[in-house]
A and B are shown apart, each in its own frame.
Chain A
Amino acid sequence: GAVVSQHPSWVICKSGTSVKIECRSLDFQATTMFWYRQFPKQSLMLMATSNEGSKATYEQGVEKDKFLINHASLTLSTLTVTSAHPEDSSFYICSAHLAGGPTDTQYFGPGTRLTVL
Chain B
Amino acid sequence: DAKTTQPPSMDCAEGRAANLPCNHSTISGNEYVYWYRQIHSQGPQYIIHGLKNNETNEMASLIITEDRKSSTLILPHATLRDTAVYYCIVPRNAGNMLTFGGGTRLMVKP
Contacts and interface: CB of A to CB of B under 8 A. Distances in A.
Nearest to A111: B43
Contacts of B44: 44, 93, 95, 108
B102 interface: yes
A46 B98 CA distance: 8
Nearest to B44: A108
B97 A111 contact: no
Given A43-B102, A108-B44, A111-B41, A99 B97 contact: no
B17 interface: no
A8 interface: no
Contacts of A106: 46, 95-96, 98
B70 interface: no
Given A43-B102, A43-B103, A32 B96 contact: yes
Interface residues of A, number: 27
A106 B49 CA distance: 12
Interface in B78-97: 87, 94-97
A98 interface: yes
A67 to B, nearest CB: 18
A103 B44 CA distance: 15
B95 A108 contact: no
A93 B43 contact: yes
A23 B34 CA distance: 23
Interface string A26-62: 0000001010100000011110010000000000000
Nearest to B101: A43
Interface string A80-108: 00000000000101010111000111111
Contact of B95 (A44, A97, A111, A113): A97
Contacts of B100: 36, 43-45
Contacts of B102: 43
Contacts of A4: 43
Nearest to A44: B100
Interface of A: 2, 4, 6, 32, 34, 36, 43-46, 49, 91, 93, 95, 97-99, 103-111, 113
Interface of B: 34, 36, 38, 41-46, 49, 87, 94-103
